[in-house]
Amino acid sequence: MAQDFGFAIDTLEVAGDHVHIFLDFAPRYSIAKVVGILKSVSASQVFEEFPQLKKQLWARELWEEGYFVRTVGDQVTAEGIRRYLRQHQGESGRQRQLKLF
């Protein structure tokens, strides 16, 4: 997918309930467009390979509507983002669901 759209994936971390992607893309794409491409193409591919999954998901959607984006600049460097991703590798897999009752 990255090659098809000219994206360069620097770092990718897949957790149990979210994904971190450090990505470089041409300025002709807006951030919202890139997120839309990533979500729609990946969902199509997952559902094609695992059609039974769609029946198990709430509203038959793979991805939530929201996302968080941080850009690289003077204060936040590429190495700072890579370090953050390394520090959080696998962390969500160790988290436990809070019990209210």
Condensed to tens digits (0 to 9), the pLDDT of residues 3-15 reads 999 999 999 988 8
The pLDDT of residue 95 is above 60: no
Q: The whole model's pTM is what? A: 0.77
Distance CA 101, CA 98 (A): 9
Q: Which domain holds residue 22?
A: 2-94
Instruction: Evaluate the CA torsion angle 15, 18, 22, 23 in order and state its sign.
Output: positive
| 28 domain residue, yes or no | yes
Q: Which has more pLDDT, 22 or 61?
A: 22
Condensed to tens digits (0 to 9), the pLDDT of residues 31-75 reads 999 999 999 999 999 999 999 888 888 778 889 889 999 999 989
| 101 domain residue, yes or no | no
CATH assignment of the domain containing 19:
3.30.70.1290
| 15 domain residue, yes or no | yes
Residue with tokens 């709430």: 58
Contacts of 53 (CB under 8 A, 6+ apart): 46, 47, 62
Overall number of domains in the chain: 1
Q: Do 62 and 42 meet the contact criterion of CB atoms below 8 Å apart? A: yes
pLDDT-derived band at 90 (thresholds 50, 70, 90) equals: low
Q: Do 19 and 25 meet the contact criterion of CB atoms below 8 Å apart? A: no
